[in-house]
Structure 1
């Protein structure tokens, strides 16, 4: 017999099949994830109660500073003890308020096919935001532009496992700071029909985002349908400021969810202890979550946080450490204890390039947040250098890692179990399954086949140019962008959004220009 071996036939056919798949790229967004993985709970019931009691003691006896006269008056009316800017919250009041936060809700996207549920075991992947630098398609670190932001929104749209375009994935330095929130929001709306985040850089900026959402979705629709997400960061330890609280009011009054996110640098603005850090963080989050219900009872809200531990050698924030994983497990338990959806950060890296350190840090965090049962999984693509830059190469690899985590979290699929088992007697001892009809029918879906990881022999890898992951990822990003098709906005809606932006840019001084003049 002069037949080509099944192994060689498989390799040649595999390359051809991959080319065929690429030519018919399916970028349909995966449905919101229903995470079936067992939850990793590192505390028993007594541990949860101990953290809760410690947090309530902090709220009652230490208090939380609210640097905002409106919030202080709101708390007085709600029955809290207010001394100067410090608010002492009775645990009964806190429990009464947080009990009205919905345990889950559905985000409504511009394209209804991209609506996603959040809460319980329902989760979403959201790319990173806030990078002041980019590592671009040439892997050059530089200041980003609005065009770069649009590129990331397009890549988000083309990545099936990403459920959102976030907002300012990178800072568009070619626009005045005072106008950026308008252009950033429009870019999210224009380049994708997935859900997106809303800027909370000031109360007025948050109100602009709400007005633009009202143009896109309708003000009445927003009263009963979450369409965007705001993030409000606390100033740990135990401070919430006027900027964040004003933005929180803008979102909550429109019934739009906010992430109530203490900004934790473990050992720097929290005690040098994992349980004590979680107790403080929990108190800070509960104070903000309770305030969302003072603003509007029943408004959706999300228990948030940003977690890093601080190197006692340099003072720099670290990613991927074991304590961060432990805190994620514990925070997940606390959020479930209160029945509130929760946010975490994903695929964080402190490396300066897309190297092995970045991969290890990101993989460690991704595994932990999946087993912690997080709902709003933010910073899921691109984050490196402690958030100082977003890497195009890392962005697309992270997005594929999220797709792999999604597949794992779906759990084993039993739908073809009997058919697959029937192949065993067909093949028998010593045979192989490559040519079996069941394998031929299911090979593309039975096992996840990464586009960006190279699993070929060293000889084939060398023959194809010895290309490492960064080179392959940047080529993949270019291919995605070449295939991108804009999901067009309704013409009248687009015109109304541009008119609103033009009017607000006339009304808002271009602060960058004023600063240069003075």
Structure 2
């Protein structure tokens, strides 16, 4: 990319200035970019963080977790966990602290293209998708229908071409594939065929994992290349809150670890239902469950890359239904980010869900507020940040396009205000006020920073009412539909090598 050169008012006329301002910026000059550090927002006090930590350790020692598979019991008891007569594994404080010391930090999640690598260190923030929506939102018909493998592939392609969405985790279920093995394989294929950004997926049965790695080795060009740069992570609900291991998911996790696939240790309790109703105690349970996962992973493979996935959700306590777009959800997510930073572990949580059924004003405020809170908290991996509606039941392709604009503004908030000697110098003010025209329009400084300091939306409309009328009263949703269709029309059919793609299609029935 070319760096933007300072533009003089006499450097060749308006056309030259416009061309210079339109030139792509070098990555380090862009106003926003993947991995911006957050951490400015802290809903928990330092004392509150320590109190939650102590309560989580107490829960692991006193309550423990049940239903670990036999292999997991063997792994964890050899490390020092205690199996009680009631079948529950309990974790002494010293064991947890020992495994925390061994846990991986500052990990990198790879893309198939290295330019999409994500460095999970400190408060670096990355935004992406996730979920298991069973419906796709048809905004033109204002209705929901079952999601398909074609929808998943389309979502993957869109994410690949939207700069402010940094990774693609399986966002919906392929309801057109009735065989469970083929559903998992079509899910993995659709994710990888559409993007070379990092991908996350899950397996519905431990017996499907071997097939999944056969496909990944084909895509990577061999097992050695896969192990050198594993570009897919396993989203693993290894616990069933409250405080139970998910037996089959644990078996899947063990297999993925042996095959070199990073894992997301996902605890997804719902406050007031499967997690305590007080927000602080909901975090306690999520932290306790994920600490059990840290023990599990590091007892099996010390230092293996794992993401601390505290995902506590919120209930609308009037009905018991999930409320993904609530302010309480933002608080839970930001509080979890503080716990991740307390442990120094790479962490992820859900950050941008909406309860709204369509990409309307409700969706805008819910997604905007939650993503800003998650980003400012310094959460490393912000899952479900775009596209997810109806409290995770519906996914909207147009919302990916709109969300790309939204996340651009969110990331500008995360970056904050740069205070340097140049940026606070009053020399420009002196020249404008004492010698110049009395305004800053067209000034060299204004032209120099308009790309490096400011972010501009692609589909959002900033015209005046008069200009809006002259432009034909453009509609935001219609513009999103048009951009979606344009991206999909120009996207490659598959980003998997043609020979590997053919081999995959020969072995498994691929629906998309």
Normalised-by-shorter TM-score class: 0.7 to 0.9
Select the residue among 227, 233, 240 that pairs with 1:229. 233
Change (3 A) 1:486 1:105: farther
Q: Secondary structure at the match of 2:72?
A: helix
Count of paired positions = 486
Aligned counterpart, 1:6? none
Deviation (angstroms), 1:301: 0.7
Matches within 5 A, 1:174-253: 174-178=176-180, 179-217=182-220, 218-233=222-237, 234-253=239-258
Select the residue among 317, 327, 335 that pairs with 1:322. 327
Select the residue among 102, 125, 128 that pairs with 1:100. 102
Query: Is 1:410 aligned to residue 415 of structure 2?
Result: yes
Deviation (angstroms), 1:73: 2.8
Q: Secondary structure at the match of 1:259?
A: strand
Aligned counterpart, 2:464? 457
Change (3 A) 1:335 1:329: same
Q: Is the 8 A contact 1:104 1:118 kept in 2?
A: yes
Aligned counterpart, 2:169? 166
Change (3 A) 1:176 1:437: same
Q: Is the 8 A contact 2:325 2:354 kept in 1?
A: yes
Change (3 A) 1:478 1:76: same
Aligned counterpart, 2:118? 116
Aligned counterpart, 1:501? 508
- What CA distance in whole angstroms lies between the structure 1 residues aligned with 2:188 and 2:115? 21
Change (3 A) 1:424 1:148: same
Q: Is the 8 A contact 2:34 2:166 kept in 1?
A: no
TM-score, normalised with respect to structure 1 = 0.85
Deviation (angstroms), 1:459: 2.5
Aligned counterpart, 2:9? none
Deviation (angstroms), 1:413: 4.7
- What CA distance in whole angstroms lies between the structure 2 residues aligned with 1:66 and 1:220? 35
Change (3 A) 1:432 1:366: same
1:326-347 CA-to-partner distances (Å, cap 9, x unmatched) read: 3223222222222211001121
Select the residue among 474, 491, 498 that pairs with 2:498. 491
Deviation (angstroms), 1:190: 1.7
Matches within 5 A, 1:273-284: 273-284=278-289
Q: Which range is displaced more, 327-336 or 100-109?
A: 327-336
- What CA distance in whole angstroms lies between the structure 2 residues aligned with 1:482 and 1:417? 45
Q: Is the 8 A contact 2:372 2:413 kept in 1?
A: no
Q: Is the 8 A contact 2:147 2:175 kept in 1?
A: yes
Change (3 A) 1:334 1:443: closer
Select the residue among 485, 488, 495 that pairs with 1:481. 488
Change (3 A) 1:161 1:59: same
Aligned counterpart, 2:49? 48
Q: Secondary structure at the match of 1:135?
A: strand
Deviation (angstroms), 1:170: 2.4
